[in-house]
Amino acid sequence: MAGEPAYISADDWRAVVKKDRRSDGKFVYAAITTRIYCRPSCPARNPHRRNTLIFLTTTQAERQGYVSCARCHPNSLTPAEKSVMAALDYIEAHLDQAITLNTLSQVSGLSPHHLQETFKRIIGLSPKSFCDARRVARFKQLLRAGQSISNACYEVGFGSSRALYEKTRKGLGMTPAVYRHGGEGIHVFYAIAHSALGSALVASTEQGVCSVLLGESDAVLIRELRQEFPAAALRRAPSAKWKAMQACQDQDPLLLKLPVSLQGRVFLARIWNYLQ
């Protein structure tokens, strides 16, 4: 079917009937009667199967004279996807400030409730959970760079030491002071699995998750873990202990359009949240 249209298969037709968003990006379907092509998840009424062709790319569909659907925007981002992108960009740029659902609503152009539901459906986390995960990651980065606990606390928008300890109690797996000293006296257990974005490492202590890393290889990840916890005792745990990587593998098609670095941050935030 390289470049040539074909009548839609039974499996792909089921995805269209179910309006399965997970199939977006894998193919587009075109209605012979209207000369319009759509995403599998298009909310518009489906054409008859006998009048439906399938193309692997939007370019192929347009070469055959079909035009993009104005409802599902198969050749670009949908309005909902653009809203989520705007919210993601705002969060990344304003971690040092208070970020409320109302603020993100104004940035995205969606009502607070609609944004909450859309963000969670696409990203796999609520806006608040994503903010929390990104703040903890940034807080750890600042401590490793030598900043004091109090300065790092305010620079990532925690606002108070009480908020800091509430948010990082499970996200550090140790107190901020022990983390700042490289995990001195702590036993860190880690497991490595493989994901679509590369090798993923999850490390924990008896108090909770202390690190989630992505890298090109097991050796690179272990080296990064040793750099993060130079004073801790590291022990490898059976990979079977960690279900988080498998549970967080499913990705919304929008995530595949994000920069790889942002895809990684979303993936790590989802694992971190899952393990909480």
Active site residue 210: no
Query: With contact defined as beta carbons under 8 Å apart, do 204 and 189 qualify?
Result: yes
Q: What is the DSSP string of 209-262?
A: EEEEEEESSHHHHHHHHHHH-TTSEEEE--GGG--HHHHT----GGGGGS-HHH
Active site residue 131: no
- Tell me the two tokens of residue 172: 């550090």
- Tell me the two tokens of residue 90: 């705002």
- Do strands 52-55 and 198-205 pair parallel, antiparallel, or not at all (unpaired)? unpaired
Closest CA to 192 of 245, 137, 262: 245
- Tell me the two tokens of residue 244: 């988080």
Active site residue 153: no
Catalytic residue among 42, 153, 210, 248: 42
Closest CA to 177 of 209, 153, 213: 153
Active site residue 248: no
Looking from the CA of 27 toward its CB, the CA atoms found within 13 Å total 24
> Using CB atoms within 10 A of its CB, is residue 25 exposed (0-12), middle (13-18) or buried (19+)?
middle
> Using CB atoms within 10 A of its CB, is residue 112 exposed (0-12), middle (13-18) or buried (19+)?
middle
Which residues have a catalytic role annotated? 38, 42, 69, 72
